[in-house]
Amino acid sequence: MISERLRNALARARSVAALTGAGISAESGVPTFRSKGGIWTKMRPEELASMDGFLRNPELVWEWYGQRKRIMAEVQPNPGHRALAHMEHLFPHFAIITQNIDNLHQRSGSTVVHELHGNIERNYCMECGIRYGNAEVLSMTGIPRCTACGGPIRPDVVWFGEMLPMEEWNAAVRAAESADIFLSIGTSAAVQPAASLPGLAKEAGALLVEINPEPTSITSHADEFLQGPAGTILPELYALAVAARKESQ
């Protein structure tokens, strides 16, 4: 149920930012991390998503990324991604801040996407920095190695204990601090520093709206909690925003 307050905010907003997490891609068939049946309920994050884990067992880490690269190449954006892509045209400023590495926002047509945790389609040599695409890396046998210097290649994603890409992070903070409405969608808000963005936006004056089938650590701070799957709620929110903005013209 969408409140009058949210309807009015959608009618007037000039700037909207949306933080997305694994939940928005769940309906496309990409597994989440911490939900029931999620990746971390079966595997240890420090073994798969950390430099220590990679150095200890690069075969295991590459096997996991190889599987996920194949899944993410096959899946398609869902109505939740598409509703966000349409919203970009509705508000003067609209930014997606994503923790996801699956590229589905860009594939659904969004153009302003700040990727906080990297992108599954990119890889680079840990020694010389040369970049590699997935086709090249996936065709190599064993642990992918740099054809120029022989160094190990890694996926261009952010592991635990690593810094986020500075430009993307700064852009995300600016989008959060200037938002009239901040949407937190499909994230457990368990991983820092991304999880601090909803609070930052709210402190700076945004209406904080959370979309998730389950309550999270930010639900009690949210001005509106729209409980349900992103693929259902976001198209409804988009339709409501279109109607509200037309009426107020």
Q: Considering beta carbons, is residue 35 or 103 the nearer one to ligand BJW?
A: 35
Q: Strand 118-125 relative to strand 181-185: parallel, antiparallel, unpaired?
A: unpaired
Give the span between the Cα atoms of 29 and 72, in whole angstroms. 9
Q: Name the minimum Å distance from CB 241 to Zn ion.
A: 47
CA neighbor of 108 nearest in space, from 123, 127, 88 = 88
When asked if residue 128 is in the footprint of Zn ion (CB under 5 A), the reply is: yes
Q: Which of residues 72-131 bind ligand BJW (CB under 6 A)?
A: 99, 101, 117
Please choose which of ligand BJW, Zn ion, none residue 33 contacts, taking the beta carbon within 5 to 8 angstroms, the exact cut-off set by kind: ligand BJW
Q: Name the minimum Å distance from CB 51 to Zn ion.
A: 17
Among 149, 190, 239, 243, binds Zn ion (CB under 5 A): 149
Q: Are 237 and 2 contacting, i.e. CB atoms less than 8 angstroms apart?
A: yes
Binding segment for ligand BJW (CB under 6 A), chosen from 19-27, 88-96, 174-182, 218-226, is 19-27
Give the span between the Cα atoms of 182 and 225, in whole angstroms. 12
Among 212, 225, 237, 238, binds ligand BJW (CB under 6 A): 212
Q: Considering beta carbons, is residue 146 or 209 the nearer one to Zn ion?
A: 146
Each residue 177-206 as x (binds ligand BJW by CB under 6 A) or -, in order, gives ---------xxx-xxxx-------------
The torsion of the CA quartet 116, 120, 126, 129, rounded to 10 degrees, works out to -80
Q: Name the minimum Å distance from CB 125 to Zn ion.
A: 3
Q: Considering beta carbons, is residue 90 or 126 the nearer one to Zn ion?
A: 126
Catalytic site positions: 117
Among 216, 237, 238, 244, binds ligand BJW (CB under 6 A): 216
**Site residues (vs Zn ion, CB under 5 A):** 125, 127-128, 130, 146, 148-149, 151
**Site residues (vs ligand BJW, CB under 6 A):** 21-24, 26-27, 32-35, 38, 49, 99, 101, 117, 157-163, 186-188, 190-193, 212-214, 216, 229-231
